Amino acid sequence: GAGVSQTPSNKVTEKGKYVELRCDPISGHTALYWYRQSLGQGPEFLIYFQGTGAADDSGLPNDRFFAVRPEGSVSTLKIQRTERGDSAVYLCASSFYYTGEISGNEQFFGPGTRLTVL
């Protein structure tokens, strides 16, 4: 079956521009997560969706970052007025919704979008 897909794989933009990053989760997964990873570090949580709503957006660094998941499947991460410090690999993951009856919350990741802000 198809895994998590992310587009574009690479995005180069100029400081101050607006970017959108797209994530297609695994079919049947109701939970979707965005992380970003800087060089030499582990991924850093940004936001988590359960269905269409953002259940936890505590990781978004500031109000330039916003994410949507209007139909409970595909999600778009939007970054306004990009800054050089936003350069990173943006990872999307999906999972089944943990209900306590499932053993855990194994998350399955896409290949990431490498964002470079010049």
Partner 1 sequence: DQQVKQNSPSLSVQEGRISILNCDYTNSMFDYFLWYKKYPAEGPTFLISISSIKDKNEDGRFTVFLNKSAKHLSLHIVPSQPGDSAVYFCAASALSLGNYQLIWGAGTKLIIKP
Binding piece for partner 1, criterion CB under 8 A, among 13-21, 41-49, 65-73, 78-86: 41-49
Strand ranges (DSSP E) for 69-109?
A: 75-79, 88-95, 108-109
Binding piece for partner 1, criterion CB under 8 A, among 31-39, 60-68, 71-79, 80-88: 31-39
Give the integer Cα–Cα distance in Å for 67 and 69: 7
Nearer to partner 1, 66 or 109 (CB): 109
Nearer to partner 1, 27 or 41 (CB): 41
Q: Does 52 bind partner 1 (CB under 8 A)?
A: no
Q: Does 1 bind partner 1 (CB under 8 A)?
A: no
Alpha-carbon dihedral of residues 80, 34, 5, 22, nearest 10 degrees? -20
Q: Does 108 bind partner 1 (CB under 8 A)?
A: yes
Binding piece for partner 1, criterion CB under 8 A, among 13-21, 61-69, 76-84, 103-111: 103-111
Q: How many residues bind partner 1 (CB under 8 A)?
A: 30
> Least distance from C-beta 115 to partner 1, angstroms?
14
Q: Which residues of 63-93 are buried (b: 16+ CB within 10 A; e: fewer)?
A: eebebebeeebebebebeebeeebbbbbbbb
- Partners of residue 23 on adjacent β-strands: 6, 75
